[in-house]
Homo-oligomer: A and B are copies of this chain.
Amino acid sequence: MRKDKISNAVIRRLPRYCRNLEALRRDGVERISSSALGRNMGLTASQIRQDLSCFGEFGQQGYGYNVESLYQEIREILGMHRQRGAILVGVGNLGRALMRNFDFASSGFDLQAAFDIQPEVIGREIHGVTVRDAAGMEEYLEAHDVAVAVLTVPQQHAQRVTDRLVACGIRGIWNFTNFDVEVPEEHADVVVESIHFSDSLQVLSYLIRDNA
């Protein structure tokens, strides 16, 4: 019952649904109305119903949503129940921060390996993951089932590393380089999801512009 074309805005709200439902679940809430869920998320009841109707029939008139089953359904829609392979490329400060502190498993990924070109970091183990020589990246990807690469290399290497990853059949690139990497047309199905820190700070800058 999933619609073919779901808007980007709805997709980007799914993780927020997930976080909200997780909090409700933790608090022992068993069911919730669309209006109460809407209040938690800053949306109207009808937006909630419309969002969720993209993925199937979840709520019941007069009952609302079962928190546990909606939570599990959304996790499944997002693919969080699987553990897909991931690698990280570029073990600088940010790469290390992600390796040490980010919970890949709870988002449905298994961080299997990291790659760098600096001799002083190659061979080190960080939070149970070995840092390998980036020269062997192609060989590694050939031998392992890796869906996603986390890109934390310096900006000037971003496109070249992307090209190598795409050529190896990577399916998704999680891009932290603040550089808009491009995938060639013949690999248009490769998904690039970028976290642009500066975009976020500039939005904050805009929003505090007038207050005080």
Chain A interface residues (CB < 8 Å from chain B): 9, 11-12, 14-16, 18-19, 77-80, 84, 92-94, 96-98, 100-104, 106-109, 147-148, 171-172, 174, 180, 189, 191, 193, 195-209, 211-212
Partner of A191, one of B93, B171, B172, B208: B208
| B residues near A198, Cβ cutoff 8 Å | 15, 102-103, 106-107
| B residues near A207, Cβ cutoff 8 Å | 11, 172, 191, 193
Task: Please report the C-alpha to C-alpha distance between residue A15 and residue B195 in the assembled complex, in whole angstroms.
Answer: 13
State the Cβ distance, A148 to closest chain B Cβ, in Å.
6
Partner of A93, one of B96, B107, B174, B208: B96
A208:B97 contact, CB within 8 angstroms: no
In the complex, which residue of chain B has the Cβ closest to the Cβ of A194? B200
State the Cβ distance, A75 to closest chain B Cβ, in Å.
9
